[in-house]
Amino acid sequence: MSAARLVIAGVWMYTSRGNTTGPDSESAKAPAVAEVGDCVQNKGTDDQPDMEVIGCSDAKAEYKVASKFENECEPGQSRFEQTRNGRVQFAMCLTKV
């Protein structure tokens, strides 16, 4: 499956995790806190992703955040969405690292 056609849909999993906010906390690794230029790893599958923000120098980094909250991504980019009750809460366009 090409990255351009890969559409990743997620759920608000991080809201049910720990309440700490330190740099190693679950909420600090949640994709919604990712900034443009940050890297993420999919710890799940293409059908049920579990994205986590990680350092770009980490060998496990799979994608770099190219943009956030865009309706469409550029050709060659993947789109990640988090939804709640069927509504998109957060979206970002990703490029392969």
Model confidence pLDDT, tens digit, residues 57-77: 999 999 999 999 888 999 999
Diameter of the chain by CA atoms?
Answer: 37
The whole-model pTM stands at 0.68
CA angle 15, 16, 17 (to 5 degrees): 95
Measured CA to CA, the distance from residue 36 to residue 32 in angstroms comes to 11
Contact 4, 17 (CB under 8 A): no
Which pLDDT does position 26 carry in this prediction?
A: 55
CA angle 87, 50, 55 (to 5 degrees): 115
Residues of the chain with confidence (pLDDT) below 70: 1-29
How many residues in total does the chain contain? 97
